[in-house]
Amino acid sequence: MQKWSARNPVGRIAYVNGRYLPHAAAGVHIEDRALQLGDGIYEVTNVIAGKPIDEEPHLDRMERSLRELGIEMPMGRPALKLVMREMIARNRISNGLLYLQVTRGASKRDHVPPKQPPRPTLIPTMRAQDMAGLAVRMEKGIAVSTQPDIRWGRCDIKTVQLLPNLLAKQAAKKAGAFEAWLVDHDGYVTEGASTNAWIVDGEGNVVTRDLSHAILPGVTRKVMLEAMAAAQMKVVERKFTVAEAQGAREAFISSATGAAVPVVTIDGKKVGDGTPGPLTRRIHDLYATKAGTKTA
């Protein structure tokens, strides 16, 4: 498969404020507030067989993030859906990731947003998903490394301010892990650097942290919870410690880039017997059936 690079982007067409442009020619104003102040939000939507997955809940969350920051939606939902479809068609990517970023717009640098709000900047881009890499992670599972959660107090808003997340992920990579699990001051796992965190506890309950300002309300998390409820699985939304996770029967992560990806080690300690667990596989299948991500 063709590799992504800034010179040779696989997703060739970007959309910037009303125009579809070749990726390399697309740009924003140097005083865009996201560039200078991190004043913006984003969504990542999986695209399978040319269709955006979990589209409505992603757009619900996008609207919520914008509302929380007092940024206008750049356009109405029906128009945005058209742009999303146009992006998929123009990029000719059937299995990929659609990235939607909205910033407060360009204005003279000032922490306080201007009274007359600038026009929000809408910048969707798209790229192919590494389906082979995902298949390997599903089959073999991934390693997780725990890192201190040094983020701010509103992790429920999906802002583009991702420095703590990227530092944690970088440290995890250095430790030979695929994902970082962020740990709060009290020793409880909040979530992954770019995923939600789950375990199967000693009683067979599927456990994930309850929603609060401490974690992102994952769309995949929400849809998986609905699928599990319909299948009458035992689910508990509560905190868990690193030690509990290491002693759990199973562990996994979820995000738009991969639902129920098995976690087989945490800081080098095997979870269960160190291979992907049966409930994780079942939850993956329940989600895939509900969300329509089954490719085979």
User: Residue numbers of the site for ligand PDD (CB under 6 A)?
Assistant: 44, 191, 194-196, 216, 218-221, 254-257
Strand partners, 71: none
Structure tokens at 173: 């990579």
Both tokens of residue 2? 């063709």
Q: Minimal distance in Å, beta carbon 202 to ligand PDD?
A: 25
Which CB atom, from 88 or from 256, has the smaller least distance to ligand PDD?
A: 256
Q: Give 191 or 250: the residue with its C-beta nearer to ligand PDD.
A: 191
Q: Which is nearer to ligand PDD, 205 or 257 (CB)?
A: 257
Tell me whether residue 39 or residue 106 sits nearer to ligand PDD (CB atom): 39
Q: How far is the CB of 16 from ligand PDD (least distance, A)?
A: 20
- Min CB(193)–ligand PDD separation in Å: 6
Q: Is 81 a catalytic residue?
A: no
| Distance in Å, CB of 240 to ligand PDD, minimum | 16
- CA separation for the pair 147, 39 (Å, rounded): 25
- CB nearer ligand PDD, residue 106 or residue 216: 216
Closer by beta carbon to ligand PDD, 17 or else 257: 257
Smallest gap from Cβ 49 to ligand PDD, in A, equals 19
Q: Minimum distance between the CB of residue 194 and ligand PDD, rounded to whole angstroms? A: 4
**Sign of the four-CA dihedral 263, 265, 266, 272:** positive
Residue 75: exposure state from Cβ atoms within 10 A (0-12, 13-18, ≥19): middle
Annotated active-site residue in 3, 158, 234, 290: 158
Two tokens at 104? 């407060």
Which residue carries 């989600």 as its tokens? 287
Residues with a known catalytic role = 158
